[in-house]
Structure 1
Amino acid sequence: FNELGLDIDSVIVRNFKLPESVEKAMDQRTTLGVFDGKMGEYAQYESVQAMRDAAKNPGMGGMFGAAGIGLGMGARVGNQFAQNLDEAQTQKIKCAKCGASVKAGAKFCPECGAKVGAESTVKCSKCGASVPQGAKFCPECGQPMNVVCPKCGAKVKSGMKFCPECGAKIG
């Protein structure tokens, strides 16, 4: 284009067509993302889709196929219900670093590997209760977790006896 005295400033691509197999794979991946790693729910979804497709087939084969899928789905739904009940009864805490759900009592986050448990709590200066890191108030006594230094006004973490800015005694 330079030989003709033209410069190309920008190029805009409005659309490009992916192969159908790639589009289908992307759709399936998006569907899995919606279920957020809950394979039981995804299996139920797939069973319902297969039942719908089997019901569309004319003749006895489609009817028997739908009945078989229905029986399998009933067992799967029961198993999934029991699994969800177990998960609901298991106490979980959130990882302070990444926010993932972690079983209570675990020492490390299964997602990011950060330590969880005692390291993610602080003690309340008033009642001594364990308070989650980053909480603004103690859930037991209501004491503010970030105390302000009476001398310089700097924020002081709960439990500190002296201000890290000016050295004044706290409380």
Structure 2
Amino acid sequence: VMLKDMVPVGSFGTTFLQIGDTKLFVIEVVGNLSRFTGEEVKTFIESFIIEKFIDTLADYTSFEVYRQTEETSTKIRAQLRTNLDRFGLEIVDMRIEGVTIPDDYKNKLFYLQRGVTAEQLVGKEVAEKFAEAIRDTKGGGAALGAGFMAIPYALQGATQMMTAPGAALVQCSKCSMQVPRSSRFCPNCGNSMGTVSAGIKCSKCGTEIPAGSKFCPNCGEKI
């Protein structure tokens, strides 16, 4: 299941049902859906519950599912109850007994739960890839050490970018990440920042002026 914060998870649990309205159950499941044998009815109910469970679980975040399993189970149980009422079925109990998250996403979840921002994670991943690239070269131990030293500096830079008072930030036109005005390229997507607004407008036509421009790109007025 792909969760609200784009973290894929697997889950397993137990659901206990009972028929609350026998007449409605026979009409809806046996009559309208033509499920006659016990195995057919069982397969239909299981498939229906799994489908609705996946749809409902997708509205939650990885933190809610992974760290607040009991609370999430209660909320999903209440939502599933409405879906099953139409078939004359009642949920006696439904519990999420376990959640599995891929190892690479567990690492991201660890940092996110401790207040690290998405931008800081990007900086950390860039530094790690940089270190890996150096390790694959012939730079030797000194170069490798420099690569690993780059990791805390990348995190520090990301922190300063997000928290420095009065920091001059602009938005990348491609991925919308906030980056320092002096950056030539976006650290998130690599987009050239050459067309970022310098924060001023043309005195003649009011057009936003790209950073580094000497003339207005719209009317040619000298800046």
TM-score range, shorter chain: 0.3 to 0.5
Larger Cα-atom Rg: 1
Scaled by the length of structure 1, the TM-score of the pair is 0.34
Q: Which has the higher contact order (CA 8 A, sep 6+)?
A: 2
Greater strand percent: which structure? 2
Greater helix percent: which structure? 2
Scaled by the length of structure 2, the TM-score of the pair is 0.27
